[in-house]
Amino acid sequence: MQNIQVGLHYKRTGRALTRCPSPSVADILALRPNQEIFTVLSQAIWGNTVLLHDLSYISKTGFSVASAEVESMRLVSQHTAVPIPYVIYATFSPGFGRIEMTIVSGVSLDRRWDMLDDHSKESVCRQTWTLIAEIRAIPQPPELKGLVRCGIDGSVPHDPFFEDLQDPPRALKSDADLRARIVERYVYFGGYQYERDLLDSLPRSERTVFTHADIAPRNIMVDDGNHVTGILDWEYAGWYPEYWEYAQILQSASWGDWSEWMDRTSPRRWDLCGIDAARKVLAWTSSDSDEPAFES
C-alpha cells in the first residue's frame, strides 16, 4: 500500500496487490469474495489516503482521520441541505482512523475550473457562498457558547494559528483572547516585523460560526451543468471567527483565479492584512516545534 499511486487502479486478492486497468461494472461483479478493485483518489506523504472501492464507496484513512470529521458531517446533515457524503461506517483508534462514505456525483472543481467561462465561474462561486451561508447558520450548542474558536466538541484547537503555548491549554473565550493568542504565537515563533502592529491589524469578529475551513476546488464537486453537487473533506471543520472561511479561501493562490472570483462574489469582505502577516510565520508552525520559524 505504500507504493500505490494516485489515479491508478489496483486489484487486491487477499494480501496481494496488482495493477489493473480502469474497472467496469462487469469487472466488479466478477470479483471473488476475497477480492476488490480500488482506485487511488488522493494520497499524502504522512497524511491521509482516499480510495474508491469497487465503484461503490469511498474510504478515507490516515493518522489525522478523527471522529470530529464524522461529527461535523452529521451536524451539517442535521441542520442544512448542503450536499455531502453520507457516512456508512467509521472506526478510530489512538492515532489512526478510517471513514467509509458514499460517493458524491460529479467531478472535483479543480479538474473543471480552467475550462469554465466567466459566467460559469461566477455561478459556481455564488453557489459555493450560498452553501457556506447555510453552514454558517448552524446554531452553536449551548454548552459551547462563549467559545470563539474550538473544535466541534469544544476541544482546544490544534492548529498553527490558535494552539496554546501553555499546558493545560486555555480556552479562547473572546475575540480579544483570540487576537492575543495569534500575536503570542507570532512572537514566540520568531515574528518581529509586525510585532507592534499585529494586534490592531487582525480582523475583529462579531460572532463565532461553524466553518468548513478548507473550501478549495479540490473539495467542491460539480456536475456537467456546473451545479455544485457536494462539499468534501470536513477534517478541519469547527467553530471559528466569522472571517475565517474567507481568509482560508483567499490564501489559496495555487488555484489560478478561483480565489479572485470567490473574493468578487463574497457577500462580505474583511481586511486580512493582519492574517496575511501572521501567516508568513505561523503557516507551518506548531507548539511542538523545537525551533522558531523566523521571518525572512
- The rounded distance, in Å, linking the Cα atoms of 44 and 235 is 14
Cβ–Cβ under 8 Å, residues 152 and 75: yes
Q: Computed from CA positions of residues 17, 18, 19, 21, in that sequence, does the dihedral angle turn out positive or negative?
A: negative
- CA triplet 113, 219, 182: central angle to 5 degrees? 110
Provide the terminal-to-terminal Cα distance of the chain, rounded to the nearest Å. 39
- CA triplet 114, 229, 140: central angle to 5 degrees? 115
Instruction: Write down the pLDDT at residue 296.
Output: 45
- The rounded distance, in Å, linking the Cα atoms of 223 and 14 is 36
pTM as predicted: 0.92
Helix or strand holding residue 223 (H, E): none
Which domains are assigned to the chain? 9-101 (3.30.200.20), 107-282 (1.10.510.10)
Instruction: Write down the pLDDT at residue 289.
Output: 46
DSSP 244-289: HHHHHHHT-GGGTTHHHHHHHH-S-----HHHHHHHHHHTT--TT-
Q: Which stretches of the chain drop beneath a pLDDT of 50?
A: 287-292, 294, 296
- CA triplet 290, 49, 53: central angle to 5 degrees? 170
Residue 159: count of CB within 10 angstroms of its CB: 15
Instruction: Write down the pLDDT at residue 252.
Output: 63
Instruction: Write down the pLDDT at residue 284.
Output: 72
pLDDT one-digit tens code per residue, 241-288: 999 999 999 986 667 799 999 999 999 999 999 999 999 999 877 544
| Cell matching residue 100 | 467509509
Instruction: Write down the pLDDT at residue 287.
Output: 47
Instruction: Write down the pLDDT at residue 95.
Output: 86
Q: For residue 234, give the nearest of 268, 210, 258, 259 by alpha carbon.
A: 210
